[in-house]
Structure 1
C-alpha cells in the first residue's frame, strides 16, 4: 500500500515588479486614460450635433408650415 504525503508550502517571498514593467504599466494607464477621454469627447460632440440637427429640423418644419397654405 503506497504512502501519500501531504506537502504544505508557504510562500514568503514577495514578487517585486521590475522597472520596465512599471514603466509599461504607466504608459498603458496614460494611453487608456487618453482613449477614454477621446471617447467621452466624441460622445459629447455627437450629442451636441444631434441637438443642433434637431433644432434645424424643427426650424425647417416651422418654416414649411408657415409657407404651406
Structure 2
C-alpha cells in the first residue's frame, strides 16, 4: 500500500475510534451496528485493516455521520 493509502487508513481508524468514544459505544456495540466483527473493528481503529466502501458506509451510518466525516480530520472541511 502507498504511503498515502496508509495515512488515510490510519486517519479513518482514528476518526472511527474518536467518534465511537464520543458516543459512548463499545467496540462490540459499534461492530454489531455496522455488521462486522469486533476484531475487524479493532483492526480498522488501529489502522491495520483496509476499510472497503461498504464497511465505511456501514460505520458512518452506525455512527450517525456522513462518510466524508470519517475521511477528514475534525478540523478539516468535509
So what's the TM-score if we normalise by structure 2?
0.30
Identify the structure with bigger relative contact order (alpha carbons < 8 Å, sequence gap 6+): 2
Pick the structure with more helix per residue: 1
The structure number with the bigger radius of gyration is 1
